Amino acid sequence: MSTSPSTPRNVLFLLASARVGGNAEQLARHAAQSLPAGTVVDWLRLEEHLREPFRDLRHAPGGYPKPGPEMLALIERTLAADELVFVAPIYWYALPSTAQHFLEHWSWWKRVPGLRFRERLEGKVLSLVTAHASDEDDVVTQPAIQSLKWSADYTGMHWRGALIGHGTAPGHVLSDTRALEAARDFFLRPVDNSVTRAA
Ligand SMILES: Cc1cc2nc3c(=O)[nH]c(=O)nc-3n(C[C@H](O)[C@H](O)[C@H](O)COP(=O)(O)O)c2cc1C
């Protein structure tokens, strides 16, 4: 069976909030309930896997080191998914540092000889489930969305879109009826198949 970007079979939720069980996570768990039976669903709390600061060693003597076993396990868990979902609230009009930290590592991983990280990302789907505190105006989500859209484009991934919830304290999002409604078909709707820049 070929993989359609519209119906992910293996979804990795990348939890990037600085708290457990927050609004973005609750909204993502709500949306995940609509995934078809048989979908493999993985939840990964990024801060548990990225403890060291990212170092830009592109031009350093010797370049990047070979990733250790823990890092390689994270890479393979990432590449096992056919959809990567950032579950990331809005912090200061942007993605939280944990999400950014993960993306920074891609700059290393795509340079690991023999890994073919960039090529293996190609054709996967990228999406965002987010939450923020401004009830009325979703414009604060635009930098985070644009960042991920461009990252998808750069890596040859398909961009599904963003599911946006509202709230401050954990659980507020469960009163956001529009977000809950949108969550019901978020993973079932078609994905833009156009990839403007392949690796
Ligand atoms: C460090 C920090 C920065 C925040 N910056 C913004 C912001 O720029 N705009 C906004 O609407 N909400 C902002 N918020 C509020 C959160 O987006 C909101 O509480 C959200 O529900 C948190 O998501 P979570 O429950 O999934 O952790 C910020 C919260 C924190 C802790």
**Residue 76: half-sphere exposure toward Cβ, Cα within 13 Å:** 7
Residue 180, domain extent:
10-187
Q: How far is the CA of 91 from the centre of ligand 1 (A)?
A: 5
Asked if residue 142 has its Cβ within 6 Å of ligand 1, the reply is no
1 lies in some domain: no
**Residue 132: half-sphere exposure toward Cβ, Cα within 13 Å:** 24
Q: What does the block give as tokens for 4?
A: 């359609």
Q: List pLDDT tens digits, range 55-75.
A: 999 999 999 999 999 999 999
Would the pLDDT of 124 be above 60? yes
Q: What does the block give as tokens for 197?
A: 């820049």
145 lies in some domain: yes
33 lies in some domain: yes
Asked if residue 165 has its Cβ within 6 Å of ligand 1, the reply is no
Would the pLDDT of 113 be above 80? yes
Would the pLDDT of 192 be above 80? no
Q: Among the atoms of ligand 1, which is closest to the Cα of residue 88?
A: 26
Q: What does the block give as tokens for 106?
A: 């891609």
Q: State the pTM of this model.
A: 0.94
Domain count across the chain: 1
Give the domain CATH number at 112.
3.40.50.360
Question: How far apart, in Å, are the Cα atoms of 3 and each of 47, 123, 125, 157, 198?
Answer: 30, 9, 11, 13, 18
Q: What does the block give as tokens for 174?
A: 């469960």
